[in-house]
Amino acid sequence: MDYKDYYRILGIEKTATAAEIKKAYRKLAIKYHPDKNQNNKSFEEKFKEVNEANEVLSDIEKRNKYDTLGEHWNDPQPTGPKNQKWGNNSNGGNYRYAETDPSGDNNFSDFFENIFGNRHGAGRPGQQRPTKGQDFNAELTVSLEEAYSGATRQLQLETQKLEIKIKPGVKNGQVLRLKGKGAYGQNGGPNGDIYITMHVANHALYRRKENDLYCEIPVELYTAMLGGQTVIQTLRGGIKMHIAAETANRKVLRLKGMGMPKYGKENEFGDLYATVVIVLPIHLTDKETELFKELSNLKNPTNAKVA
């Protein structure tokens, strides 16, 4: 048979470790796989060479024979050193004992089958039972505004580029499932899935609890005492709200339907709870100070007598 330089085919040195062989094979298997290069005969041949090189170099016994015997490594009769392991079957033919690398790196076809499946007969002999493809896991982070209105993200996973549409109301820690977008199934089995764990970033103004939002709103002392209007910022924009006279500090105002959308439910929202934080005036003028003293004396006549 013609000699093939398997080391050159994989682009590695003859001293390459099992891990380096595995890494080189993975890179080339993805590059030349027929699923990515349909109707490309040259890539198809390269793909076959890469698999052949990996099959030999990732097996300890085969690699030893290849390094020792060259193009004769796979001859049906033993031509190598006496320490090669051979035997005879009941029909008088020769067989070789298969050895495996105890490190587990002797065969990388598991990776290939998990990513591409067995659609081109790349599975192990006798493996006929349909098997679901491998599931993948990913994580995505969105802002609270994006969680409110929905968002679109692109996810690069191995050879796939996916566009993910995130519905309004997604929650922190929620897991989204992309059915059938994982690794290809084997022997006609279903494709795997992708599970995406969502992270909603903390917000400077709002705290979220389920579908409700909580925030604080500053209200001037005069407005709190006399009543009036203030503007409350929501995720829909600013809205005016009436503040009743003599509103107490830390009073909680409920804005119905101004919270987060309920995931998967159209036109349903949580509420927004706004806590009033009264803002005291500072840098008082002499006139303002005098008026506050007068007000204090009116509310507490004993203060006037002391003064």
The residue range of the domain holding 226 is 207-299
Same domain flag for 291 and 276: yes
Same domain flag for 98 and 23: yes
Domain boundary at 149, 177, 200, which? Answer: 200
Helix (H) / strand (E) element for 152: namely: strand 151-157
- Residue 125 is assigned to a structural domain of this protein: no
**Tokens at 193, concatenated:** 């899935």
- Residue 131 is assigned to a structural domain of this protein: no
**Tokens at 122, concatenated:** 């790349």
Residues, the chain, total?
307
Same domain flag for 149 and 60: no
3-state secondary structure of 71: helix
Q: 41-57 and 60-69 helices cross at what angle (nearest 10)? A: 100
Q: Exposed/middle/buried for 287, CB within 10 Å: 0-12, 13-18, 19+? A: exposed
pLDDT of residue 78: 42
Same domain flag for 235 and 277: yes
Same domain flag for 182 and 215: no
Render the burial of 10-32: b for 16+ CB within 10 Å, e for the rest. bebeeebebeebbebbeebbbeb
Helix %, strand %, coil % for the chain, to 5? 30, 25, 45
pLDDT of residue 249: 94
Q: What are the pLDDT tens digits along the chain (307 aa)?
A: 567 888 888 999 988 888 889 888 888 888 877 777 777 888 888 888 888 888 888 888 888 888 877 767 776 644 434 333 333 333 333 333 333 343 344 444 444 444 444 444 444 444 578 888 888 888 899 999 999 999 998 887 766 788 889 999 999 999 999 998 888 888 888 988 989 999 999 999 999 999 999 999 999 999 999 999 999 999 999 999 999 999 999 999 999 999 999 999 999 999 999 999 999 998 989 998 998 888 888 877 776 555 5
> What φ, ψ does residue 161 adopt, rounded to 5°?
-120, 110
- Residue 121 is assigned to a structural domain of this protein: no
Among left, alpha and beta (phi > 0; psi -120 to 50; other), residue 77 is: beta
- Residue 119 is assigned to a structural domain of this protein: no
Residue 59's CATH number: 1.10.287.110
Task: Report whether 208 contacts 260 (CB < 8 A).
Answer: yes
Instruction: Spell out the residues 6+ positions from residue 274 whose beta carbon is closer than 8 angstroms to its own.
Output: 214, 215, 216, 217, 232, 241, 252, 253, 254, 255
- Residue 244 is assigned to a structural domain of this protein: yes
Same domain flag for 75 and 22: yes
Task: Report whether 18 contacts 10 (CB < 8 A).
Answer: no
pLDDT of residue 31: 83
- Residue 1 is assigned to a structural domain of this protein: no
Same domain flag for 280 and 212: yes
Total domains present in the chain: 3
- Residue 155 is assigned to a structural domain of this protein: yes
Separation of alpha carbons 129 and 132, rounded Å: 10
Distances (CA, A) of 217 to 4, 136, 226, 277: 76, 43, 17, 6
Q: Exposed/middle/buried for 240, CB within 10 Å: 0-12, 13-18, 19+? A: exposed
Same domain flag for 196 and 213: no
pLDDT of residue 117: 46
- Residue 114 is assigned to a structural domain of this protein: no
Same domain flag for 45 and 89: yes
Domain boundary at 149, 176, 200, which? Answer: 200
Separation of alpha carbons 250 and 275, rounded Å: 5
**Tokens at 173, concatenated:** 């820690």
Residue 270's CATH number: 2.60.260.20
Domain boundary at 159, 179, 200, which? Answer: 200
Same domain flag for 218 and 280: yes
